[in-house]
Structure 1
């Protein structure tokens, strides 16, 4: 017998003694099966988790939900705010509280009077010509004052995306997700960036992570959609945007074109008339512009006040 014939005969004998079997179906262990496993055997849970993550559809879902969270709540140090001259519920009879009562009343009338003819009147932007004039201080005071209303709630949006100052005042991290994250990623929802506070009717939206194209994001269709939702989703809500200074950034001018009302803060004895005129030219497309003459010295008290409020 030749060498090839002997090899062929050997292969036939192996197939007879060891037939090829089909692969048995995968058996799924039940709880009763697991109860009889020896102590030194590992549980199959890790393997099951790896199989789930390897699924391309489930893996995509996991990536979409990564980093998302429910609405967060922060505790504002109200006593610290009071020491800084900001309106609080426990000191609602202070001079500053009375001044902001006068400031908010026409704003609320414009926002909720159906005969006012103001589109999106509940969207209010607080800005200034230059930095340091007190716009964020006025934004927080206005928000706190409106939160005392019986019939309205307030959402304070930190739109000063380049140099946010509200986090330091209200005590939350400037790294919190916020407005720019909502604009940049369509998978974010409004509830993902909202933060409730220990002031019952006050909610916050931080500025979010800085972005090189913040101006384009604020001018985008996504921003228009967000503003429409903010303006109409809750009939009793006032939305206050703490904006960048008008003459230092382009973001403020873009935002101003989408607001129902604008409050321009002017620092007494510092901001020149020419500077104010230039700032007003930047926002002349808005129908309702209000001015707060801030840091005006109160005669006989040595303190400062918020006088000269009115329409432009």
Structure 2
């Protein structure tokens, strides 16, 4: 039984969840503030109806491009093409779903072994690239709650985020959800610093949150930007919640033994992919040359 299933079973025994007779709907009491159900609703439209004007943000695209991220106005750039290659196996795994034995394939964790390897750079660019898919929406979650970078890079001001949601059962999902001016991209910031952030990320409420966003929104890709694996235990906790993990490795910087240690910590994950970052060499992928020299600006 998975850690999610254990959490759901425990919640059910405590009366936090009611299961209806048709077994198709899991309803959470008001203090958990969301419903898990099998339906075909449009998540973007549903979220839009709940997001207040205060939670709608405009990304500074010029500043983002100046930092080396994908240029919103240049979809044919080399970097944009590189991330088309990077995202394809991830998207294919999502479309294959649990048929291929991957639990929660639409939840993707981006991590690294150590700080400075470029995981936030990859997280944001991957989110931007997938958001341009015709049938996908993206929820980018800053789960690096000790050193959050997503909001800073996107020019988002301090606002309630994941930590507030996990700490306070009166905070709803829509309270922390930020709608960007890219129609298929929403963001959840990390929120405030908290001395028990690790315990909050390993809480039952976090498990239920991950289950909800995975089950309810089948066409949504949820990308978690996590802390480095070997610096904090939080990344390993988050890895247990997702179906796919991307381990970012700084070329010619990260020692092989460090990479091996990180991979060992991800041994129980369904899918672990590695992304070689900051290399200045040209890589021949499927007959095309892609240079990854721009990576690592996070």
- Asked if these proteins are the same fold (TM beyond 0.5), I'd say yes
Residue of structure 2 equivalent to 1:123: 107
Shift of 1:298: 3.4
Match of residue 149 from structure 2: 165
- Which residue is equivalent to 2:43? none
Q: Is residue 156 from structure 1 mapped to residue 156 from structure 2 by the alignment?
A: no
- Alpha-carbon RMSD across the aligned residues, in angstroms, is 2.0
Larger radius of gyration: 1
Q: Deviations over 1:199-250 (max 9, x none)?
A: 1100000001111111111111100110011102212100000000000011
C-alpha displacement of 1:301: 11
TM superposition shift of 1:167: 1.7
Provide the C-alpha distance between the structure 1 equivalents of 2:199 and 2:230, rounded to a whole number of angstroms.
Answer: 18
Unaligned runs of 5+ in 1: 1-68, 307-312
Structure-to-structure mapping, 1:1-312, within 5 angstroms:
70=52, 72-114=55-97, 115-173=99-157, 175-298=158-281, 304=293
Q: Are the counterparts in 1 of residues 68 and 294 from structure 2 also a CA contact under 8 Å?
A: no
- Greater than 4 Å deviation, 4+ residue runs: 299-303
Greater relative contact order structure (CA < 8 Å, 6+ sep): 2
TM-score, normalising length from structure 2? 0.76
Q: TM-score, normalised by structure 1?
A: 0.73
Alignment partners' CA distance in 2, 1:145 and 1:268: 23
CA distance in 2, matches of 1:301, 1:215: 38
Distance in 2 (CA, whole Å) between partners of 1:103 and 1:302 is 13
Distance 1:266 1:301 in 2: 17
Q: Deviations over 1:28-71 (max 9, x none)?
A: xxxxxxxxxxxxxxxxxxxxxxxxxxxxxxxxxxxxxxxxx836
Q: Is the 8 A contact 1:88 1:144 kept in 2?
A: no
Aligned length: 238
**C-alpha deviation, 1:305, in angstroms:** 5.2
